[in-house]
Amino acid sequence: MSVLPATSRAWHLVSRPHGTPRPEDFALRETPVGAPAAGHLLIRNHYFSVDPYMRGRMGDTPGYAYFPPYALDEALVGHAVGEVVVSNAAGFAPGDHVLHFGGWREYAEVPSGEATPVDTDGIPLTAYLSVLGMTGLSAYTGLFEIASFRKGDVVFVSGAAGAVGGQAGQLARLSGARRVIGSAGTDEKVRMLVEEFGFDAAFNYRAGSVSDQLRQAAPEGIDLYFDTVGGDHLEAAIGALREHGRVALCGAIAQYNDVEPPPGPRNLAQAIGKRLTMRGMIVTDHQDLLPRFMADVAPWVRSGELVWRETVAEGIEKGPEAFLGLFRGDNTGKMIVRLDHPATGAASPSR
């Protein structure tokens, strides 16, 4: 057994943000490291995930009752991948790579039932935080279960350069969409959507009216909208949807830091005449889809048909900065934090 450190560093929430979180809302503190209890594992984290939904857990934002708030002055949690260094549970051995929910820290002790072994044969370890993780399952669930994708659909994905949106658009393309359109916040990201991800069209939502640009990209309208942004994107999509169009309400990152309710969408009444179906989703309600998701998507990952991007912040010290970067659009694809001891033996991620 390798020599364990006496302490491990972990990020704690020390104050509840009002509006956009600030660096001073977080504190990096040392916590003791010891042998795991019976039935538990001690895991050395290699990467942890930062995700927009975490903003809701940091305060009392309406609509986030599906996750309890983070407790003040306790370590934050989130998905992470790492290596078992001490096992006190059957079925796990030192050196095993696992996915678990003890992120935002260097070492995590978790019950063995909350750790999932991951296969790194031809698949990068980081994929289990992105393309084969919660973000990938969100894209798959929203597209196929919530919005009932049909071959031949014209699909619009907002925030398509993000981890969920980029995968949703590609899954639609690989599954027979007639046309896939995405929005992103820079011209570089727009080029990536078309040239790397295979979208048929994309536009920079900062370059003009979202409604006008969507109308130009889909002059005959759209059948399915995958929403990760909310606000003006949702309003534009409602205007562009054809009769019996479908909407997967996966996220609303444009509104997560708002302190006042948004004014719209102002054209919601169109949902009546168009007979639209709009359905919200929480990915944790759909864990039963995980086997089907892995069976369908893992082969596309191994073959390279499904491309994904990662933005990697180096070092645990960058945790809050990486999280705050999500709301500035700093990330292309999945935002993750790599700790000071990178994993070995895993393939390089698609960038």
Instruction: List, in order of start, the domains of the chain with CATH numbers.
Output: 7-129+308-338 (3.90.180.10), 134-284 (3.40.50.720)
Q: Is 11 helix (H, G, I), strand (E, B) or coil?
A: strand
Tell me how far apart the alpha carbons of residues 300 and 330 are, in angstroms, rounded to a whole number: 27
Q: Which residue has the tokens 């006496």?
A: 6
Tell me how far apart the alpha carbons of residues 10 and 339 are, in angstroms, rounded to a whole number: 11
User: pTM for the full model?
Assistant: 0.83
Region 23-29: mean pLDDT is 96
Give pLDDT, residue 256: 57
Region 178-186: mean pLDDT is 96
The tens digit of pLDDT for each residue in 130-163 reads 999 989 999 999 999 999 999 999 999 999 998 8
Tell me how far apart the alpha carbons of residues 252 and 52 are, in angstroms, rounded to a whole number: 9
The tens digit of pLDDT for each residue in 212-271 reads 999 999 999 999 999 998 889 999 999 999 999 999 998 776 555 555 666 668 898 999
C-alpha to C-alpha distances, 151 to 14, 96, 144, 281, nearest whole angstrom: 48, 40, 11, 22
Sheet strands (E) in 136-200: 154-157, 179-184
Q: How many CB atoms lie within 10 A of CB 145?
A: 18
Contact 105, 45 (CB under 8 A): yes
Give pLDDT, residue 251: 77
The tens digit of pLDDT for each residue in 10-21 reads 999 999 998 889
Provide CB contacts within 8 A for 207, sequence distance 6+: 187, 213
Provide CB contacts within 8 A for 169, sequence distance 6+: 155, 157, 160, 180, 182, 193, 197, 199, 226
Tell me how far apart the alpha carbons of residues 295 and 49 are, in angstroms, rounded to a whole number: 23
- The per-residue pLDDT of the chain, averaged, comes to 90
